[in-house]
Amino acid sequence: MIRKSITIEEAEYEKLNNIAHREKISFSEVIRKAMNIYINQYEDISLVEYIKKNCGYVSDEEEKELLSWIEEPDLDPNEGSELTIEQIIKGNL
């Protein structure tokens, strides 16, 4: 187990401490439970939500181009080559 020291506002401390007393658990356990809830929500974010939060919007023209690639991919089965996981990891593309 790892120990970390955190600094919180007094009002936050009081709220968390009240929860600990009501639930009859330690202050640290309240922090661990809250952390797990946050981690689960963060990890469960959908791809669409991730893109909305982390990617900027594209122009209408660029959006049309991207959608056309999705609707009618221009794939030639004779082009390209197979990559190994090792090539991808090492960046030897």
pLDDT tens for each residue of 26-36: 999 999 999 99
Q: Would you call 19 exposed, middle or buried from its count of C-beta atoms within 10 A (0-12, 13-18, 19+)? A: middle
What span, in angstroms and rounded, lies between the C-alpha atoms of 90 and 38?
33
Residue 20 has pLDDT above 90, yes or no: yes
DSSP reduced 3-state for 44: coil
Q: Is the pTM of this model over 0.75?
A: no
Q: Is the pLDDT of residue 74 over 80?
A: no
Closest CA to 23 of 11, 34, 12, 37: 34
Both tokens of 47, joined, read 């791809």
Confidence class of residue 41 from pLDDT cuts 50, 70 and 90? confident
